[in-house]
Amino acid sequence: MKIYTYGHPVLRKKAKSVQHFDAELKLLCKKMIDTMRNSHPRGVGLAAPQVGVSLRLITVEQEPGILLCLANPEIIKTKGEQVDNEGCLSIPGVYANVKRSKHILVRAIDPLKKISVEFEASGFFSRVIQHEIDHLNGVLFTDYFDDLSALELAEDVAIPEALIRRYSK
């Protein structure tokens, strides 16, 4: 699957709720997991809008080898704060320190098992889920900053033109 990058309109749309839990959705989960794991750099989270599908569906690697696919995820409760470095497969090579909740309570539907799930997440796992849910709402991690000085670039990476335009308005 192709990962859409900064500037593509699908990344700014609020994704629609998943209504149909069928074989097609299971296949989408599996393709998203493969895309996330085989991306360079390797991803630990991916939202359906990042692959051009405007649905409230995310994949997350909780820890190495433990993969989740979550439909219609929502954060019910937050606690504490943490600041750490984030990147995004849709903005390759661009990083920044982002403030997020340290602990969250999440409710979602596991589309593979077709059951409701509720769980707590902390630390890095919490950060990844919050980042991916932001994607479902058309929010990118760069939206948390007022100017380009907060962003760090990997070697040989240029800031996307669309991102420069966003900050020059």
State the catalytic residues: 132
Tell me the one-letter amino acid at 56.
Answer: R
Question: At residue 70, what are phi and psi to the nearest 5 degrees?
Answer: -130, 130
Mind giving me the DSSP string for 42-92?
PPSEEEGGGGT--BSEEEEEEETTEEEEEEEEEEEEEEEEEEEEE--TTST
* Rounded Cα distance, 51 and 30, in Å: 13
